[in-house]
Amino acid sequence: MSIQQPPDHGATTFESPVSSTGAATVSNGAQSKKQPPPEKPSDVRRRSHIILAFWLIVLCLGLPIWWRTTTIYRADLPVQEMLDWADGKACRPVFPLRISIQANALQEQEAQNLLRLTQHALDDLNDFSGHHLRLQLAPPAATENHDSESVLTIRLVPGDTTTAKFDPHEPMLDITYPPNAIPSPTSSSSSLATYVAGQLRSTFAEEQATISHLLSTNAIPSEHRPQGLSPDVSESLSKRTTRSVKYAPTYHLTFSLFTSGPLPSSWDIDGAINEYMKPVLDVLSPIHNFTIDTQVQLYAAPGVHSQVLNKEDLSSFINAAEWPLSPSIGGAPTINFIVFVGNQTIAAPSQGPGEGDDAPGSASHSWLIPQWGTVYLLSLPDDTTRLSSEALKQPLLTFTSHLLSLTGTPQSGSLPLRLSTLARIRSADLLLRASSTLGSLARLALALPSISIPSRVADGVSKTMHHLRLACETLGGPEGLAHARIAEAEAERAFFEKSMVGQLYFPDEHKIAVYMPLLGPVAVPLVMGLLNELKAWRKRRREAAEQGAGKKKE
Amino acid sequence: MDGAKVTPGRTAGLYVGAAVLRLAIFTLLPGLPDLLTGRVEISTPVTSFKRLQEGLFLYNHNVSPYDGGVYHQAPLFLPLFSLLPSFASLPIFTYLLYIAVDLLSASALWKIADSGEAGSSALFTSSRREKRWSGFVIAAVFLFNPFTVATCIGRSTSVFTTCAILHAIAKAVAGAPLGAMVALSFASYLSMYPLLLLPPLVLLCYDRQRPERATKSSLQFAGICASIVAGVVAILFQMSYFITGSWEFLPSTYGVQLTLSDLAPNVGLWWYFFIEMFDSFRSFFLAVFWLHLSSYVGGLTVRIRRQPLVVMTLLLGIFAIFKPYPSISDTSLFLALVPLYRHVFPLMRYTFVSAAVIMYASFLGPAFYYLWIYAGSGNANFFYAITLVWGLGKSLLVCDLMFAVLRDEWEVERPEMAGKEIRQI
């Protein structure tokens, strides 16, 4: 032990409490410092063993454990491909829209000619290559029924004047034309063809604008990007986007009945939803899933008590502190539909343009709260105890139309057309979203070389790309939408992998802060002990060599 | 204190006195046992009596006791405690069991003290060995130590580990290696960490072998001892497997100690650290903490080769500071062995400081815990700070004892330096 060691031998961790004899007891000034007696060889050997015992643990157990527990697993990601998707190089979103024309009253050749002219007129009007309308002649046999392959069927019917009317239940456009409007086979232009082209163009203008708005806000190279979106169009589009709820695969619909007094205490909401809302929910089901719950709250005080509600009052009408409106249940965003039974009315000018429902019957009963839901004011006779399904008809119809605008459905055109447009917009939106998520993930993986990438993420990425490819091929159709939905969900899951998010803000420099406080103090005695021991060993060897040399000399 | 003749009457008096004290507390203060059972200083997730009852309830209803993740103790406790009459109706039998275990520990300690191993081992004889306390005094110090009494009243299952460790040492001192190894296997089976005591215990057994049947080769002896421990532990595991019907108990008992999955506060240093730890470094630092705990074994065993009992005492002190779920029961075991070194007490330099720090921490600890958990006027840092002080006090004591023992060795080597001031160079 170190008690007898020469001064240049430092003490190892364990030897620290043991000290050497005080050579300081110098009684005689002339006497120089007393040297401690030489160390015994057994003590020297023992000290080496102690140091060895510690270092063996560090080297044989510590290092392998350190290596095993801190190596970062990085699954291989097809980074370049992912970036290609994000830059729009992998897929060019093209929506070939087939429109069939039923012209049973026309001769085959006349119809062909009209079709050719209309297509010319359309091509002249269209400036966006991604959104392409292609006309085709429906076989005469297929009368009356809508062809499922095409998005819109135009029925040309002879009549007195040129009119256009949408069928309310089927994606059909009835166009009547005067007999003299049929172009002759030789003519290069026709008023009817121009009219039809103009009708089609205005029908799809909104969809086209929306999709080009989507593409322009995403990182799509400029050659695919449509030109000439006027600022006001794009402004109204972004306004509509801000009004609609953020896209989610599932929405949670909450129907709440708030009454200012004790009555009505029950409502036939089940029947009303089944009757008035279910059809629209069914149509929306390829795009969104919906979960529904309902609640009734009596004696609910609104946030504003004035009899007539001004526009300013509407925003504070919801009594967020007392009404049990949970922001979101189980991760899905909630859309709230509130029927408030009371005697308050909305002041007429409060109805802003484009805000709320403009139907004359319900003009002053309801308003839409962007990204949140709808409030409907219902005034009832005082003694109503149960709201019947009929009484709920008007509120629910309002809610349905608001639900459509909250989900981002375009506003023009007939309902079937609006819904199919919504499906196309959604597929484009999801495709772009998933692509940009992939791009972010790839950039993240490149930017942080120390982040771990679990194999689940790699799985998610390959699934995403598979479905993206399929979606890109079948864009515009129902499978395209389904694939885009899967791709988006997988991409989100891969990006928000739990173990990666935690490491996102963990730069390498922090590792010093992690390792140093504990391992630093531990390492100092270990390393110092080893160094001292090595020094002593070298000194002993040198002395032994000198002694050997001296002996040889003798 | 020493020199007094120990008559059988005095022995019986001591044991009866300790038993009566505990019984009196159990019966006269019926609220106290449950209060102490809930204290974090006494009950850790791996020793709590409450959790034992939960496991027992599940076991008696033919559900795996480890379902629900509450019970983290060895499976063999379950048949033992279900043999006793139900705790709810007849708690006296449980009390008697705990009192008996404490008395057994004390008798083992008595044997260790009377053997004189602390003062003169096979390879080393202290010049101060005459000045020592008798087994009676040492057993009394153990039995009436408030930490021991509190552990017994709190019915922490760590008393069984304490008893097994003390018996392992007593058997080793008595020259019965087989008994020592079996006792150590039981201790390791119950709490896992006593396995680290194997190297010094083997040395102690080797040094104290009976001459008539001594194994000469130390390696051979160590091999035999290690295989005895491995065999007994394997048998215990097999029995546990038969009792619980699966190997689920391994991750639930030892896995919890290894991975510290239950971060309930205790008087140790681990829980706070791992609450704050980054998840990606958790496994690495778990390994570091365990390596730190076990790294002392080799160095100490080599350094104080001539006095293996000292090594075990120091290691028990280190375990009481650095193990994952320490409680005051570990401290009471360490404090039980310290009086064996009465002869080096004059060489210790910080007895007052370490005694004061330990007492300071044991009074303020509960107060700070109360401030944090119940009063809400403190936070976790309060309690962690006081456990740091508690650890500091114990490490002062460990270091001081080590210093005194080494100084004692050195004075034997160089008698002319006895009593002189020393200085580290």
Q: For residue range A271-319, what is the model confidence (pLDDT) as tens digits?
A: 888 888 888 888 888 788 888 888 888 888 887 777 777 777 777 788 7
Ordered by where they begin, the domains of chain A are: 2-66+511-553 (no CATH), 79-90+414-503 (no CATH), 95-217 (3.30.379), 248-406 (3.40.390)
Residue keyed to tokens 């019970």: B71
| Facing B291 at nearest CB: one of A15, A49, A62 | A62
ipTM for the whole predicted complex goes beyond 0.95 = no
Counted across chains A and B, CB pairs separated by less than 8 A come out at: 109
Q: Which residues of B touch A (CB under 8 A)?
A: 278-281, 283-285, 287-288, 291-292, 294-295, 298-303, 305, 399-400, 402-403, 406-407, 409-410, 413-414, 417, 420-425
A25 touches B: beta carbon within 8 Å: yes
User: What per-residue confidence (pLDDT) applies to A454?
Assistant: 83
In a domain, B339, yes or no: yes
SS3 A46: helix
Q: What is the pLDDT at residue A11?
A: 40
B112: its two tokens: 């260790």
Cα torsion B330, B331, B334, B337 to 10°: value is -110
Q: Tens-of-pLDDT digits for all 425 residues of chain B?
A: 444 556 778 889 999 999 999 999 999 998 999 999 988 899 999 999 999 999 999 999 988 899 888 899 999 999 999 988 888 888 899 999 999 999 999 999 999 999 888 888 888 888 888 888 989 999 999 999 999 999 999 999 999 999 999 999 999 999 899 999 999 999 999 999 999 999 999 999 999 888 877 777 889 999 999 999 999 999 999 999 998 888 989 999 999 999 998 888 989 889 998 988 877 788 889 999 999 999 999 999 999 999 999 999 999 999 999 999 999 999 999 999 999 999 999 999 999 999 999 999 999 999 999 999 899 888 888 899 999 999 999 999 999 999 999 999 888 888 877 777 777 66
Matching residue, tokens 């990425």 = A461
Chain A contacts of B301, Cβ < 8 Å? Answer: 53
CB B172 within 8 A of CB B222: no
Mean pLDDT of all residues in A2-9: 40
Which pLDDT does position B364 carry in this prediction? 92
> Is the predicted pLDDT of residue A111 greater than 80, yes or no?
no
What's the CA gap between A95 and A150, in Å, rounded?
Answer: 12
Q: Which residue, among B124, B196, B276, B280, would best test binding to A if mutated, counting the most A CBs under 10 Å from its CB?
A: B280
Q: What is the pLDDT of residue A554?
A: 65
A322 vs A492: which has the higher pLDDT? A492
- A17 Cβ under 8 Å from any chain B Cβ: yes
pLDDT exceeds 90 at position A231 = no
The number of CA neighbours under 13 Å toward the Cβ of B282 is 14
- Residue A359: predicted pLDDT: 39
With a cut of 70, say whether residue A330 has pLDDT above it: no
pLDDT of residue A364: 67
* Local confidence band at A232 (pLDDT 50, 70, 90 cut-offs): low
The stretches of A268-332 forming alpha helices (DSSP H) are: 269-272, 278-284, 311-315
- Roughly what angle, to the nearest 10 degrees, separates helices A415-447 and A191-217? 30
Per the structure, the complete domain to which residue B149 belongs is given by 8-417
Average pLDDT of the residues in A364-372 = 80
In a domain? residue B425? no
Q: For residue A326, what are the CA distances in angstroms to A256, A323, A341, B206?
A: 11, 9, 20, 72
Look at A4-13, A522-531, B292-301 and tell me which has the smallest mean pLDDT.
Answer: A4-13
Mean of pLDDT values over A75-90:
81
Residue B356 neighbours by CB under 8 Å, 6+ apart:
none
Instruction: Express each pLDDT in A163-192 by its tens digit.
Output: 777 777 777 777 777 777 666 666 666 777
Query: Quick one: average pLDDT of A69-91?
Result: 80
The two three-digit tokens of residue B55, written as one number: 């496991």
Interval A383-399: pLDDT, tens: 777 888 888 888 888 88
Distance from the A443 Cα atom to the nearest Cα atom in chain B, whole angstroms: 22
Contacts of residue B83, Cβ cutoff 8 Å, sequence gap at least 6: none
- Residue A219: pLDDT above 60? no
Over residues A105-130, the mean pLDDT reads: 74
List CB contacts of B270: < 8 A, sequence separation 6 or more: B260, B289, B324, B325
Q: What is the pLDDT of residues A404-438, one digit of tens each?
A: 888 877 776 677 777 778 888 888 888 888 888 88
Q: Which uninterrupted H or E stretch holds A536? A: helix A509-553
Q: Is residue B92 part of a domain?
A: yes
Q: Is residue B106 part of a domain?
A: yes
Considering the domain boundaries, does residue B309 fall inside one? yes
The more confident residue out of A229 and A65 is A65
Residues of A within 8 A of B406 (CB-CB) are 1, 17-18
Identify the CA nearest to A137 among candidates A109, A176, A95, A174. A109
Name the residue with higher pLDDT: A360 or B419: B419
pLDDT computed for residue A130 by the predictor: 65
Confidence class for position A224, pLDDT limits 50, 70, 90: very low
How many structural domains are present in chain B? 1
Q: Is residue B198 part of a domain?
A: yes
pLDDT for res A341: 83
Does pLDDT of A142 surpass 60? no
Burial class (CB in 10 A: 0-12, 13-18, 19+), A478: middle
User: Does some domain include residue B356?
Assistant: yes
Residues A129 and A183 sit within 8 Å (Cβ to Cβ): no
pLDDT of residue A329: 61
Residue among A226, A151, A158 nearest A192 (CA): A158
**Higher local confidence (pLDDT), A373 or A359:** A373
Model confidence band, residue A28 (pLDDT cutoffs 50, 70, 90): very low
Q: Which amino acid is at B359?
A: M
Residue B144 domain-assigned (yes or no): yes
